[in-house]
Structure 1
């Protein structure tokens, strides 16, 4: 059989810079600065294990890994497919072990794996540049050979394209690709199964791999000259940044190698999917993805004119997921790329991530999707990974829903949509809290909302210790039963929002909401504010909890707050003194004996630290809102906020590759938590802060 025709590199066959590397591509969004990192052969792969790239397909699937070519945790891989979009993810393809063979005797392994006590192969020695935009791109130089690798996903499909282009070489080279295949759910690990390996079927231009562990096959479309059958297990691959268990190990199976012959100016690609039909020609898929990115850019209007606003706005698209490409139901992932669709985090993110960036239609769709799921006055806090079923164990998500509707109205003045699609769910929420709803959540006679069960973490501080089984978690780490301060501030805010919207609609219930809000504010002042002006974090059976946490700041930053301006100023000063860091706010003061300055170790250790000192980046949003309430938008305040918010740009470029991680250590230098991906709430709150502080031309 004659070898297949070789296609020229197309979009990847660009002019070379003076240094011999392809020129950086133009990006479709104004002010979006390309992120790229240069390396030499002294690069330490361990030091870069937390620099993560990721791409998504809009239905919950993704590809992700470290910029060195190594997978740092068990959820990393080239194809994590959403079998029940936008959830039900399984890891189909971990990576390709790439070997470049050049005359006369050169054999160069480009991949990187961590094994106990060592790295093998050591392909990072040949990596000279990593580029994040418009998709993750790796440039390798070996003497006179320059090879480019890129990764992107096809929109709306569980399909990843991995391409290679040869830009320079003394002569033809051979590129061998050995796929490492896990075929498992995201949270599990595979071990060698000698008696029952996956089943492999080879056809022209296609290799299909099946396993009883997953219901669909992995299909590799390729243009290789031949397939070299050499089944084997790669044993003991270590995931140093694994969220479940740092240092976890896995065995990965391979059927053999896809062997390609490349000449200068040619490109090849492998399309890994769950069964799509189509070409493996790289330029065709590049044009399709480029068109999708261009359309997405046209629908954006970042709130600031600088690179931070553009980068945050650009990242927003990857949080949006649907059940299928044209489905009206739209979800936001709270933690991307591995998190399931979210409720609380989606609503906290919505004003900045969608409204501040000009995405009014997606904002409507997200609100409408969540409104349809209201049950007994509760909005889902999240959707399950298996089956995408709504889960309701939250006392604040429903109140954040009303807060998000308020921001939607302030941004669009679209009362017609609110009256038609959101008003009844909002009224159901209020009635649910008045009557009492699931988990015992409800308002007492004095007007305050009470959470009776100390075993259930129903606020945003919802960490559990891991239990003995996967389905039975252990105890709540940060009990906040009783009357939490931010829950009751959100309750007051929700009542004031309902009062205002009812007035705008000319409805008679506005007076009822006004009286109820007045009752709540009066009791709030009596219960949460001490005679000295200190604010309690929660009240339980008459006992006040003086723990210094950021929850009072959340309360102070709401559009309607039960605090006076003087009380909000006290809350702000206390937070700046003990909680504020460059990356967000600590969840507990370092002066508290329970404070834990590092969020590391196994799941239990991470859970114990998560709300006991760990920094959450989304809390910069309430901080900015409170600053503007207390100090007003003066030039001095604007300059200070410009510095604080702008600090994230450098971190996004160098440390986090365009994402805002959710969690950082409370202690300096505030390292991000192992395995932490991008957080929608953090990106959204930064965008909201840019808009509120009017940092146009500045951020």
Structure 2
């Protein structure tokens, strides 16, 4: 359980940094801060998928929040909190006694002798959110007024000024009111009990300010529309729920039953944890479910297809990220069937991106990522074969396509310019403006374009060849070509990338020679299941990365000596790139631990040390996105979390490496 008392919730600066997030398995979510004050445009009580053919990952904020007033006798208590220019109003956060996430976000308010609990949860598989209020004691007359503030906009946008006669296109039904002012977005249904009255009306609330957007130099102010208000006269009733949905709910929908169903689902996740008392593992396992989104159509219901959402509050699908995250999200959590579905869905798209001269699917399956994604897919398939008994699935569904892709890369290469060179290494002849590892580590858009041979790609390439060699032996086919090529790649990596003067691996090699930048990319030469390096060089790589690049929340992408990296022409360094901010990526910490354990022989001492390295990220579960791992951290003190508050790859790798450490510790008997 995550819990904060008055020391946190009454401190505005601290409270606004802590955000909760609920998801519904469809890509929709509800999210705000622990005091209910929205600090970013992506916050909202109901945010739902609103994809189009041009933008399939688009989401819409339908219901931003509720404004609530509790009237006790002659006193009116406004329990919401909003930021306006130079002021906070109302200051409901001062009435909050406690916030808990156990497992749903819950705020406890106190006014005189009245205690009010507000709880939010999302049913799975429905674009709906349930807000439940509980009032104690129930022996006094209490009037409760709740006003829905609606947005009806894309999650990444802000509302432009509207006229005062804004038409919500409202329709009333039995127990609900529906609004549909924007035809290109889903409608909003508000359901309420029979003994609660909804009074239509409406006015604009002007100049809400979103601090997080403001701090990231985005537009940060907007107006929200008050669609009316609910009036509840509470005498003997101590609990009621309001439901917001983007669809008409089926007859007999019961919020209490849905809550119990969700609790049972979460309890089943807890039962799968290695230890029933390991709260960190439970939070990671629970959060992992949030990134698996089911596809549903209005007519047919669930299609059976799922996808991996790369992050919240933004982020759609990235095949490369999905392949990298599969091991943590699906394989280590025992989701064999879901993993197989993701393989089957991704393989033809990635194959087309590489083999086809006119690849499609450019929205999220970027051609520039295709080779790396395929190599990560082969790596994930290795973890799949290790985790689940039997290998028929890989043999029947993946092995043939893996062979085709590798054959293509070793032959003509793709027209956009990536193929195997005579030394066995993969060489790229295209200007890569989205280099996978530099851009992920630095956070700088379009950083470090590369031409030539990258160490991380060669490491993945060697690893894939050894995996294919292993599969060939298991399936009774000749794998000699993979073995011979892997030997050649290993020799080329050592001879071309090893920088003797610094005793580390160069970042990449091109016609200009070695780029001797000291970067974290070299850790993949040791971290993957198969390494091309002899042990002495592997130990040296881990040693220098540990000494110069290891920080609490991830690996720094480069050392201080390489603070400025090359961009554009290789003989003209661009000081604007990289000069402002360097990021730490949590998922790189897992790669480092893999490498560290390998060179230390998986000793118990090394495993204990690995746990210590991981500890700061586990503590981070109680900060920023509560129960999640952030996308990145500022490399400079105080290492502020940035980017998505819930990042699939970050969480997947932390979960994977934690489970690996725990499993090895259980089986270890010597120090």
> Scaled by the length of structure 2, what TM-score is found?
0.89
* Correspondence for 2:201 among 205, 213, 230: 230
What does residue 252 of structure 1 align with? 224
* Correspondence for 1:177 among 135, 143, 146: 146
Give, in whole Å, the separation in 1 of the partners of 2:185 and 2:623. 39
1:287 aligns with 2:263: no
- Judged with a 3 Å threshold, the aligned counterparts in structure 2 of structure 1 residues 555 and 334 are, in CA distance, closer, same or farther, namely farther
- Judged with a 3 Å threshold, the aligned counterparts in structure 2 of structure 1 residues 256 and 111 are, in CA distance, closer, same or farther, namely same
1:329 aligns with 2:321: no
1:582 aligns with 2:549: no
* Correspondence for 2:535 among 565, 578, 583: 565
Give, in whole Å, the separation in 1 of the partners of 2:593 and 2:48. 38
Matched pairs, number: 641
Give, in whole Å, the separation in 2 of the partners of 1:492 and 1:41. 50
Bigger relative contact order (CA 8 A; separation at least 6): 1
Give, in whole Å, the separation in 2 of the partners of 1:74 and 1:432. 45
What does residue 573 of structure 2 align with? none
* Correspondence for 2:634 among 653, 657, 665: 665
Give, in whole Å, the separation in 1 of the partners of 2:99 and 2:316. 28
* Correspondence for 2:68 among 95, 98, 111: 98
- Judged with a 3 Å threshold, the aligned counterparts in structure 2 of structure 1 residues 199 and 42 are, in CA distance, closer, same or farther, namely closer
What does residue 150 of structure 1 align with? 119
* Correspondence for 2:106 among 137, 155, 161: 137
**Cα distance, 1:449 vs. partner?**
1.2
- Judged with a 3 Å threshold, the aligned counterparts in structure 2 of structure 1 residues 591 and 695 are, in CA distance, closer, same or farther, namely farther
What does residue 469 of structure 1 align with? none
What does residue 688 of structure 1 align with? 656
**Cα distance, 1:198 vs. partner?**
3.8
- Judged with a 3 Å threshold, the aligned counterparts in structure 2 of structure 1 residues 450 and 286 are, in CA distance, closer, same or farther, namely same
1:66 aligns with 2:33: yes
Give, in whole Å, the separation in 2 of the partners of 1:48 and 1:369. 41
**Cα distance, 1:265 vs. partner?**
5.2
Q: String of CA shifts for 1:440-484, please: whole Å, max 9, x gaps.
A: 222222211122222532424346999xxxxxxx97222233211
- Secondary structure of 1:461's aligned partner: helix
* Correspondence for 2:58 among 88, 96, 108: 88
What does residue 497 of structure 1 align with? 467
Unpaired stretches in structure 2, ≥5 consecutive residues: 566-575
* Correspondence for 1:190 among 135, 145, 159: 159
* Correspondence for 2:43 among 76, 81, 86: 76
Q: Which structure carries more helix by proportion?
A: 2
1:678 aligns with 2:651: no
CA contact (8 A) 1:144 1:170 kept: no
Q: String of CA shifts for 1:501-545, please: whole Å, max 9, x gaps.
A: 11111112x111111112211211121112333311112213222
Q: String of CA shifts for 1:612-637, please: whole Å, max 9, x gaps.
A: 62100001111111111111222221
1:114-129 mapped onto 2 (5 Å cutoff): 114-129=83-98
Give, in whole Å, the separation in 1 of the partners of 2:355 and 2:236. 56
- Secondary structure of 1:476's aligned partner: coil
Give, in whole Å, the separation in 2 of the partners of 1:543 and 1:80. 50
Give, in whole Å, the separation in 1 of the partners of 2:437 and 2:119. 38
Please report the RMSD computed on the Cα atoms of aligned residues, expressed in angstroms. 3.0
CA contact (8 A) 1:110 1:122 kept: yes
- 344-353 or 137-146, larger mean C-alpha shift: 344-353
- Judged with a 3 Å threshold, the aligned counterparts in structure 2 of structure 1 residues 464 and 165 are, in CA distance, closer, same or farther, namely same
What does residue 404 of structure 1 align with? 380
1:561-640 mapped onto 2 (5 Å cutoff): 561-594=531-564, 613-640=582-609
- Judged with a 3 Å threshold, the aligned counterparts in structure 2 of structure 1 residues 127 and 665 are, in CA distance, closer, same or farther, namely same
1:275 aligns with 2:247: yes
CA contact (8 A) 2:435 2:448 kept: no
- Judged with a 3 Å threshold, the aligned counterparts in structure 2 of structure 1 residues 272 and 578 are, in CA distance, closer, same or farther, namely same
Give, in whole Å, the separation in 1 of the partners of 2:254 and 2:325. 38
> Scaled by the length of structure 1, what TM-score is found?
0.85
- Judged with a 3 Å threshold, the aligned counterparts in structure 2 of structure 1 residues 484 and 63 are, in CA distance, closer, same or farther, namely same
What does residue 440 of structure 1 align with? 417
Give, in whole Å, the separation in 2 of the partners of 1:274 and 1:379. 41
- Secondary structure of 2:544's aligned partner: helix
* Correspondence for 2:17 among 25, 50, 55: 50
